[in-house]
Amino acid sequence: MPTHFLATLPNFLAYLGTAIVLLVAFVAIYLYVTPYEEIKLIRANNTAAAISLSGAILGFAMPIANVIAHSDTLLDLAVWGVIAGIVQLLAWMLARVALPNLQEDIAAGRAAPAILVAALSLTVGLLNAACMTY
């Protein structure tokens, strides 16, 4: 094995592990905050719930990936990860205001509101990632 690979493996594992912990924490909080049970709905083949949740996950992952690429420390990753999660939750709250029937729409499997929520999450995630370049 190349020496460089062995030298960088611990950093890779540390960043990957931290990113996974941040992702799991974000998803758990997101699932707790939203008024519908996405996992239950997805298991029942509800496409709207899958679209909405997927957008939030990807919208959160984009800034995390960017921070990993540009950060100097795991603390940077952790702090910016928390900020990325807060921004994503704020985007979801904005969607709730714009779409007052969102809870019923997602539960009923209506794709149009779910696509808008996913697009909002992805857009916010992309902008968030761009702002985290330093």
DSSP output for 79-113 = HHHHHHHHHHHHHHHHHHHH-TTHHHHHHTT-HHH
Residue 134 is predicted with a pLDDT of 64
Share of the chain above pLDDT 70, in %: 99
Segments in the chain below pLDDT 70: 1, 134
Element housing 31 (H / E): helix 3-33
Tokens of 105: 């729409």
Residue 51 is predicted with a pLDDT of 98
Residue 18 is predicted with a pLDDT of 97
Helix axes 111-131, 47-70, angle to 10 degrees: 10
Residue 63 is predicted with a pLDDT of 97
Residue 1 is predicted with a pLDDT of 59
CA 80 – CA 21 distance, rounded (Å): 13
pLDDT tens digit sequence for 7-20: 889 999 999 999 99
